[in-house]
């Protein structure tokens, strides 16, 4: 069974890690301020659409928000942080990182794997 308090704690954690504010998520996702507040405080479990939008805004998986677990991943916490930092970086930083790592072009299929990264 899903635990609303644990889901709220994970959303709160990812908001803190991302450097975003609740108002940023409200503005970019279309989720109401009251609904997001209810999710974070553990009063409600987000519905399917809300959990999808929150996961996209916070750069994590739906699965992690709901369960705190990752599957089909062998990333360390450091690797997850590096991936999140890359996802949040501007295009110049991303390009410099690809050059540093000798990756010639951005991966065109990156979107499908983004949803797996916590």
Within 10 angstroms of residue 64's Cβ, the number of other Cβ atoms is 20
The pLDDT tens digits of the residues spanning 77-110 come to: 788 788 888 888 999 999 999 999 888 776 654 4
Residue 68 · residue 10 · CB < 8 Å: yes
**Residue ranges of the domains in the chain?**
4-67, 77-114
CATH fold label, 4-67? 434 Repressor (Amino-terminal Domain) (1.10.260)
Within 10 angstroms of residue 112's Cβ, the number of other Cβ atoms is 8
In three-state secondary structure terms, 105 is coil
Percentage, residues of the chain above pLDDT 90: 58
The pLDDT tens digits of the residues spanning 2-27 come to: 899 999 999 999 999 889 999 999 99
This prediction's pTM: 0.63
Residue 19, sorted as left (phi over 0), alpha (psi -120 to 50) or beta, turns out to be: left
User: Torsion angle, CA of 20/36/23/85, rounded to 10 degrees?
Assistant: 10
């Amino acid at each position: 069974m899903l635990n609303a308090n644990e889901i709220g704690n994970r959303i709160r954690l990812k908001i803190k890690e991302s450097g975003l504010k609740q108002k940023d998520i409200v503005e970019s996702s279309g989720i109401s301020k009251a609904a997001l507040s209810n999710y974070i405080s553990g009063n409600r479990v987000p519905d399917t659409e809300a959990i999808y939008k929150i996961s996209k805004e916070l750069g994590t998986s739906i699965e992690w928000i709901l369960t705190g677990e990752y599957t089909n991943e062998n990333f360390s916490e450091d690797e997850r942080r590096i991936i999140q930092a890359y996802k949040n970086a501007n295009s110049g930083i991303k390009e410099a990182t690809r050059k540093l790592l000798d990756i010639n072009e951005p991966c065109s299929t990156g979107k499908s794997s983004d949803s797996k990264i916590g």
